[in-house]
Amino acid sequence: MGHLYQSFRGYLSRADGPKKDLSDPTGNTLYAADIYWRPDWAEMVLDLALCNTYRDLAKFEAEGRPPLSLKVDAVTVASNEADPRAAAPASMKFGSKGGEWKPEPEYTVPLAELLPAIDAGKPVTVARKSYLSAKEN
């Protein structure tokens, strides 16, 4: 259904520290003078994003639109609507800023097509991926 905007996620989550610049013969790190590289901030930002995602999921549930699945930053909801924006819970905010969601029509699939796989025990995200892969071929 949507994606949480993650422009800084990869940048902030380098737990092993700044990467070495292989082109630098002196061995200086690429981010040696980077005041914004803070592993403690990275963990806080990622934890806050995760908490806010779970808060959003609780709102969707309270609105009667329980999520079928959550995978990293993508949530799947069931709807009779083919348009992801029309299918979205009322409290879902769209955009490209932190905490906003992006609809992805290319991942919209008829739930009836997924039900046999879901009933067989496949996770929703796996069933959707299998359906979309089969549709491409």
Taking the C-alpha atoms of residue 1 and residue 101, their distance in angstroms, rounded to an integer, is 8
Average pLDDT, the chain: 77
pLDDT score of 42: 75
* Sign of the four-CA dihedral 8, 10, 16, 22: negative
Token pair in block for residue 30:
């690429």
Direct distance between the N- and C-terminal alpha carbons of the chain, in angstroms, rounded to an integer: 23
In sequence order, the β-bridge partners of residue 29 are 20
What is the predicted pLDDT for the residue at 106? 85
Among all chains, which residue has been given the structure tokens 């800023």?
97
106's tokens: 């290319």
Residues (pLDDT < 70) of the chain are: 1-37
Token pair 């592993």 is found at 39
